Structure 1
């Protein structure tokens, strides 16, 4: 996305490090998007895993689960909580990625105005 609207000179300007910062603004924007994408993948993987392990046990498996019912319930609730937490965290990271785009567009606007 960044390559679609940026000029080479703008990308060079973004790649320059500020004195006290550890990373350039270009790396900061890219890391925001990588974080967002990784969270989305984790949320989807957790959902797929939970969906694939949802079954109604029968036979010997049912007897085994009845013996360890509390442990099974705690494990199931933990996995569901973890999946929901990752999903909610990924939704809020969408806001962070959106505001990263907004900050980048403000910088690009200043860059274009100073260029003229």
Structure 2
């Protein structure tokens, strides 16, 4: 759902003023605001810039969900997180032993490849 009406009201302008400022026909803007027409990706960027917001916020996308998705990291990082969650139910001593074995395995691999550790 495009938040054009809400953003336009915050800006204190009419639909005609918004359309004129954006350089588009009034009827086109009205159709975007009423949800009768979907703007192209280029138009979404134009609208977001005009209303000084992001395309995500313009579309009503939950930005906390977007931030959470970004924080989840790369596919490799997500795989490591999944493995850590799977092991989390183990007794503490076993969990720590698995982590230590994993760390040692990575260190041996990096050493064999002549790659230094990033956390040193």
TM-score range, shorter chain: under 0.3
Structure 2-normalised TM-score? 0.25
Higher-Rg structure is 2
Q: Which structure: greater helix fraction?
A: 1
Q: Which has the higher contact order (CA 8 A, sep 6+)?
A: 1
